[in-house]
Amino acid sequence: MSVPTNVPSITLNDGVVIPQLGFGVWQVGADEIVPAVATALEAGYRHLDTAAAYGNEDGVGKAIAESGIAREELFVTTKLWNSDHKADDARRAIETSLEKLGLDHLDLYLIHWPATVKYGDAYIEAWDSMQQFKAEGLVRSIGVSNFVQQHLDKLQGTTPSVNQIEVHPTFQQRELRELNTSRGITTEVYTPLGTQSQPGDITLPEVTALAEAVGKTPAQVVLRWHLQQGLVVFPKSVTPTRISENFDVFDFELSDDQMAVLNGLDRGFRQGADPVTAGF
């Protein structure tokens, strides 16, 4: 798969190549999803991250179909929802996602949450199904999202290629990221700007001062911080100017000292649900 030349890529543990910067569509509604994805594709994004639970896979599929971009130029991720961890449900779920997206295969399929509070260890059965889907060619690469060590330890067979977790300057999850790396698992990042709880990490004075120093927006500075750490990141916006700005992060680098400033902002401030206690 080729990607725009200015977007770095990472080779996953199964040999699949993933663009390091993508476009996320969490909380993008039905009336905004098609134009938002279309704008992202026009800006140069080729990596799209959605999920069954987002309720917008059909809109993502419509934007892909209307774009005229060849399938092999795109990297499309979606996720298996918690209520579909049993084998029959997982089979139905991936078939539904493929139909809504208008695709014959996914590039990456993730278990969205371990969901142990409500569904116990059903995620282990889901992982068996994911491996089967890969063997059948329905998906090129398989991974997980919101897994911590106790969940990763119980998986059998194929090692996940990806673990998608919350990371931003005030919640860096370094220990979990180091665990991922030690097992050959690539870390993907959601809520990269720390804006799930407003106003977000991009309003911190340390971030705004760095942005002024390098002549970029606070969001661009934080995205660059993620990229320079080797993380896969996908900001979300429905505003065309911000979609383009978030893609314009390849013409500058943060110095070691500037990286250290952002590294020093970790406060353990989780904005989303805790994977161990989440009850959905």
Active site residues: 54
Give CA torsion, residues 46, 34, 227, 106, to 10 deg.
Answer: -50
Bridging pattern class, strands 9-11 and 17-19: antiparallel
The Cα–Cα gap between 35 and 57 comes to 14
Beta strands in the chain (DSSP E): 9-11, 17-19, 23-24, 47-49, 75-80, 106-111, 139-145, 162-166, 186-190, 232-233
Residue with structure tokens 């991009």?
202
Do 232 and 20 touch, CB atoms closer than 8 A?
yes
Query: Quick one: how far is CA 254 from the chain centroid?
Result: 22
- Select from 85, 107, 115, 91 the least CA-distant residue to 19: 107
Q: Three-state DSSP class for 87?
A: helix
